[in-house]
Homo-oligomer: A and B are copies of this chain.
């Protein structure tokens, strides 16, 4: 991704009793979000947590989803009107309250 782009990360902490339906997320949620946000999204990625830094350590996040935008204005413009629909889909694939991080791409 190019320097200066805005990355919105949605991180799902891996805790006891928490569930995450990766199939629904990849095949239903992400395509729905991509459809709603349209051309404002300039990139997207999804990762599944495998482990931590030490052997046998669990991954801090069971899943991570990332969306890229040209600018904060583009993100806010795209996300604002669709926030309720996107957030409302979360219970369909997980009971985890995600950590959201907004970052600027440096490299």
- Footprint of B on A, CB under 8 Å? 1, 6-7, 9, 11, 22, 26, 30, 44-53, 59-61, 64, 72, 99-107
Number of copies: 2
Whether the pair A44, B107 counts as a contact (CB closer than 8 A) is yes
Return 29 A-B CB contacts under 8 Å, by A number: A1-B45, A6-B50, A9-B64, A11-B60, A26-B107, A30-B107, A45-B107, A46-B105, A46-B106, A46-B107, A47-B103, A47-B105, A47-B106, A49-B101, A49-B102, A49-B103, A50-B72, A50-B103, A50-B104, A51-B102, A52-B102, A53-B99, A53-B101, A53-B102, A59-B101, A60-B99, A60-B101, A61-B101, A64-B101
